[in-house]
Each structure stands twice: as C-alpha cells, then as structure tokens.
Structure 1
Amino acid sequence: MAPAMDVGMTLPVMEPDLWDRSDTLETWARAVDAGPFSSVCFGERMAFDNPDSLTLLGAVAAWTARVRIVQTVVVPQLHAPVPLAKALATGDRLSHGRLTVGLGVGGREEDYRAAGADLATRTMAAMADRVATMRRVWAGEHVADAVRPVGPAPVQPGGPELLVGTLGPRTIRSAATWADGLAGMSLDLDPAEIGRVFALARDAWGEAGRPAPRLTTSFWFALGEEDAAREQVRRHLRHYMNWIPAAHVDALAATAGFAGPPGDLRDALRRIEDLGADEVQLIPTSADPAQVDRVAHLFG
C-alpha cells in the first residue's frame, strides 16, 4: 500500500562501482520515472568520483518525463552565482519545470579547496547572498553590464523550488526568509529527532510570515537480511565518508539509516509519514538497479 506522502529515489552517484557500467545512471533514472516514485534525486561533491551534478541534471531531464528532479544538495559557494543560476534555469527548461534544488553550505573543506572557493564563505549568510543573486537572474534583472539579461528564464515563476539542507535551529530560522522548505537528512531514523526538526521549520517559517514549508527528509537504505544489509550500509559509508577515520564511520554505520527486510522499510516510511513529511528521499547503498523494483513493490 502506497503512503500518502511522496517517496523519492536517489541515484547511486556516490557508489564505488558506479562507473563499472556506462548506463547505470540512465537505467536507474528511467526505472524511477517508470515506478511509483515522486522524484529522482542526486547530490553534489567536488573532491570525489561522482558525476558533476549540473551535467547530470541535463541528462536526467532527458531520461525522465514524469518525476520531479531534486538536486540535494548543491553548494552555491562552490560556483559563481550567475553561471549557477543560468545552469539551473536551463535544467528547469529542459525538464519542463520539474526541478527542485536543495542548497547547503557543505561540510567538507576539501570540496571548497578543489573548487578554488573561499572557505570564509562557508556560512549561511554567504549562501543567502548567492540565492538573492540567483533570484535576480531568474527574475530577468540585469546583473551585469550587458545588452540582454542572463537567460533563459526558468519555467517555474521566480525560479525552481529551493529547499535548505540544514538541521540546526539558527540556520533553519535564517533560511526561513528565503527557502521554500527543508531538505532534511536523518542519520538514524529517530522519529523524535525528525519531528523536532520539522517543528522547528514550521515555527520558523510561521515567524517569518512565510507559507508553510515543504518538509522532506532522506536516509540511507539497504534491503535484505539484517546483517548483510547492515554490512552494505557500512561499505557504502566507508566509501562516501572517506574524510572521516574508518573507526568513526564503522561506529556510525552500526545504526545509520535503514537495513533490513522490505516490510520493515514500509513501516519506517509510515512512521515518518505520521510526522507530517511531504516527501522522503531514499538513498541507496548499492548501484544495483534491482533495488528500485524492490522498493516499488512495497507500494503495490
């Protein structure tokens, strides 16, 4: 039985065997688009072997026709804001208005160094400044001394939906002035913690006089017998969290995300639905596309 909330699926862009087959990402994207999912999602890293997120945006727009495309998370400080606004508006055009963008300051100094970005800009204030510039571009304002403004104009009036990737109360309150909602992340699927973050967002958006925020969260998952599934999560996190000592990653992996049979995953999704989530985005810990069908079967 399908949950009332939306369920999105993340592409396996951070998997070590992603490039073993040239069609892995296309296979995944088309399978997600053909299934019961609400969105196809992917994030950004710089000092890693994942695909460039803005290049991938164009490809996913071509590979899909129905699902929303959610970029979680783009770090604006790794890009010049005007070219970033142009790239995202292009993605919104190519997808016929299906783009949502999650924005965050990023937690890895190495990504800033690889991009030649100033570490002093790794703040919510600097991110908000870049958002303001991008919104000016999307509004058709002249942001440079040029004959014509920077285009194309996005399909969605005012630009793509913008979600903020943050969990702290001060940063949630700061983002409430410009973001459309929350791009959350749950490390251990604690309903109390997810509910706390959702409540913070609702209060902050209300205090800012903004419409109710879109509330999304995400978590890693592995399906199967619990011990094998937990080992799959550990292997994934060892690769993805390569800047953290392995012993610390292993300790985190013992409880991170979901690892177990499909029926238990359905129960976990229902608990999050009861908290008022608008969407949950599942993050795979394997590049095997069969996972898409296994999750799809949960919804009949």
Structure 2
Amino acid sequence: MTMPVMEPNLDAATLQAWARVVDGGPFSSLCWGERIAFDNPDSLTLLGSLAAWTDRVRLVTTVVVPQLHDPVMLAKALATGDMLSGGRLTVGLGVGGREEDYRAVAADPATQTMRGMAERVAVMRRIWAGEQVTESVVPVGPPPVQAGGPPLLVGTIGPKTIRSAAGWAEGLAGITLDLNLQRQNELFDVARTAWAETGRPAPHLATSFWFALGDGDEPRAQVHRHLRRYMNWIPAEVVDAMAPTTGWAGTEQELLDVLRRFEDIGTDEIHLIPTSSDIDQLRRVADAVGVYAP
C-alpha cells in the first residue's frame, strides 16, 4: 500500500494513522514516492517517521530520484532509515519524469538518464560497503543494518530501463497506467531475461496502479480528480482523455479479481496507489486483501 502523500491537506495525524493501519494489516510493503515541485512531504524526512510509526511492514520508496540529491548524503540518509527501521528498507530508484523537480534543486537535467542514476548507485554502494570516499578518520555512516545496503528496485515502464538496471537492481518497482496484463507480462519477461543474462537471481517483479474503491461512478470520478491534481504538468484536456482508462476503480471483489490476474503472470507484489487520503479506503482494501495474508 502506498501512502497518500500526493493528496492535499495532509497532516501528521493522517499519515501516522495510515502507517499504523498498513503496518497492522495484511500488506507486505508500505510505499511512498518523491516529488520536489509539489506539496507532498519530503521523502527522506518521512522515512524517519515511518520507521518510528511501524514495526513489521517493509518500507519501500517508489521512487526516490538520486539525481536530485548528493549521492553521499542520500546514502547516509537511506542507511539511517535502514537503521531506524531495523533493516526493513527497500529503495526504489528512478530518473523521474518531471524536469521542474530537477530545476527546483538546481540539478542538471542532462543527468536525467539511466547512466546518471547508475553512477549515483555506485557511489551509494561504496558508502554502504564502508569504503572511504574522502580522507576522513572514519567512513560515512551509519552502516546499514542490511549487509551491503538496502535492496534496490528500479522504477520503470519500459524495456530499455529494465535492461540497463539488471546489473545493480534486485527487481522492478514499475507502474501500469492501463492495467494491460499482456504488456506487463512482456516487461516482466524482459526483466527475467536480463537478470538471467547477468547471472543474477530472478528479479523481484512489482508494479503499481492508482485505485479507488466503491460502487457506481464515484470511484472513477475520484481517480479522475486525483489525476487532474497530480498530473498538473500535463494539459488538463489530455488528463481528461486519459482518465477513463488510467488506474483502476471498482468494488472489493473486482479488486481481488484484478490482483489474481496479476498473480497469474508472476507478479510478486502490487503497490496500490490511493487517490484519496480517506482512511476508509485503506481499511476496505485491508479487509478485501486479507486472503493474501501469510
């Protein structure tokens, strides 16, 4: 389950309540994404709170954009999050799709590439391995709880990105806009092949989609409102044209049917993305997906 970080008018009480329901429910992971030129909470600050508010669930960034950060400071922050959570952190990384986020932090848009991301991953791996990156008395710490650092996932919707990440990522943290299972399975096959060719273990196959639960037309309208607000860099008429087929809206049983279809193509994990901060939506999903609880 993804935190409702892209919803308006958030406060600490709302975020804490969501985190505790997710942690107490049948969910395998608690996720949240990063934007800069938007009114969402800062991802790395939130990581510290989520580590304190939860005890069980895995914490997964979906995704952090390393090119928006100094890689040494990012490695230190993520290692701190891993330490505070007792080794429950998984780091999803992506190049980001919004140039305004790069401009907001004076990052070079020319680094908005897979190569730019891989270069920063290499620095972070060195930090987490305890290597000296400067002539300091001790290396940059704290050391992560997980040996070698948190597992890394690559945020992607395309085969080129998947292939380029096979050498350093443990799997995928993708997104499907239209829930096209055939296209999703083709991307999973690309990952399976790319990881096998590098001699690495089979990749963790995760994808995500926006959701709204309910009857009638309101769930689809909820998704539409969310997309209008979140996709504010896209002309409104384009978002309106996308909205009827982007994300998912329906009842609990229909959600279970969708999840089982993704399970049939070998999906390891779905990161559901809420389109409302109404905690009733979260509780309804928790009740519905309890069949997957270990």
Q: Structure 1 length as normaliser, TM-score?
A: 0.95
Q: Secondary structure at 2:266's aligned position in 1? A: coil
Question: What is the identity percentage for the equivalent residue pairs of Structure 1 and Structure 2?
Answer: 69
TM-score by length of 2: 0.97
Partner of 1:136: 126
* 2: CA distance, partners of 1:299 / 1:13: 22
Aligned mates of 1:186, 1:199 — CA distance in 2: 15
Question: Is 1:294 aligned with 2:279?
Answer: no
Q: Which residue number in structure 2 is paired with residue 244 of structure 1?
A: 234
SS at match of 1:92: helix
Match of 1:14 among 6, 15, 29: 6
Q: What per-residue deviation string (whole Å, max 9, x for no partner) do you get for residues 132-177 of structure 1?
A: 0000000000011211100000000110010001122222111001
Is the CA contact (8 Å cut-off) linking 2:211 and 2:249 kept in structure 1?
A: yes
1:124: how far off? 0.4
> 1:29-80, CA deviations, whole angstroms, 9 ceiling, x for partnerless residues?
0010011111111000000000000000000000000000001100000000
For residues 100 and 166 of structure 1, the distance between their equivalents in structure 2, rounded to whole angstroms, comes to 16
* Equivalent residue letter for 1:247: E
Asked if 2 retains the 8 angstrom alpha-carbon contact of 1:266 and 1:298, the reply is yes
Distance 2:112 2:289 in 1: 40
Gaps of 5+ in 1: 1-8
Q: State the match for 1:126 in structure 2.
A: 116
Separation in structure 2 between the aligned mates of residue 23 and residue 67 of structure 1, nearest angstrom: 19
For residues 272 and 184 of structure 1, the distance between their equivalents in structure 2, rounded to whole angstroms, comes to 13
Partners of 2:289 and 2:241 in 1: how far apart?
32
Amino acid at match of 2:44: L
Q: In the aligned structure 2, how far is the partner of 1:226 from the partner of 1:166?
A: 32
Give 2:163's match in structure 1, choosing from 163, 173, 197: 173
SS at match of 1:33: helix
Moved over 6 A (4+): none
Question: How far apart, CA to CA, are the structure 1 residues paired with 2:230 and 2:2?
Answer: 14
> How far does residue 299 in structure 1 lie from its aligned partner after superposition?
3.0
2:49 is the counterpart of 1:75: no
Tell me the amino acid that sits aligned with residue 297 of structure 1.
Answer: D
Aligned equivalents of 2:145, 2:161: Cα separation in 1: 29
The aligned amino acid for 2:157 is: L
Report the secondary structure of 1:143's partner residue: coil
The one-letter amino acid of 2:221's match is E
1:164 aligns with 2:154: yes
Tell me by how many angstroms 1:291 deviates: 1.2
Aligned 8 A contact 2:157 2:176 in 1: no
Aligned to 1:4: none
Aligned-residue offset at 1:226: 3.8
Give the deviation of 1:17 after TM superposition: 3.1
Q: Distance in 1 between matches of 2:140 and 2:76?
A: 7
Residue of 20, 31, 48 corresponding to 2:38: 48
The residue aligned with 2:107 is: 117
Determine the C-alpha separation between the residues in 2 that align with 1:261 and 1:166: 28
Counterpart in the other structure of 2:15: 25
The match for 1:187 is 177
**Do 1:214 and 1:278's aligned partners in 2 also have CA atoms closer than 8 Å?**
yes
Instruction: Give the secondary structure class of the aligned counterpart of 2:245.
Output: coil
CA distance in 2, matches of 1:225, 1:180: 38
Residues in 1 aligned to 2:285 and 2:107: alpha-carbon distance in whole angstroms: 39
Structure of higher RCO (CA pairs closer than 8 Å, 6+ residues apart): 1
Are 1:16 and 1:239, in contact at CA under 8 Å, matched by a contact in 2?
no
- Show the counterpart of 1:5: none
1:27 positional shift: 0.5
**Within the alignment, does 1:263 sit opposite 2:253 as a pair?**
yes
1:79 and 1:238 map into 2 onto residues whose CA distance is 28
CA contact (8 A) 1:202 1:212 kept: yes
Show the counterpart of 2:224.
234
Q: Is the 8 A contact 1:226 1:261 kept in 2?
A: no
Please provide the CA RMSD for this pair.
0.8
Q: Report the 3-state secondary structure (helix = DSSP H, G, I; strand = E; otherwise coil) of the residue aligned with 2:91.
A: strand
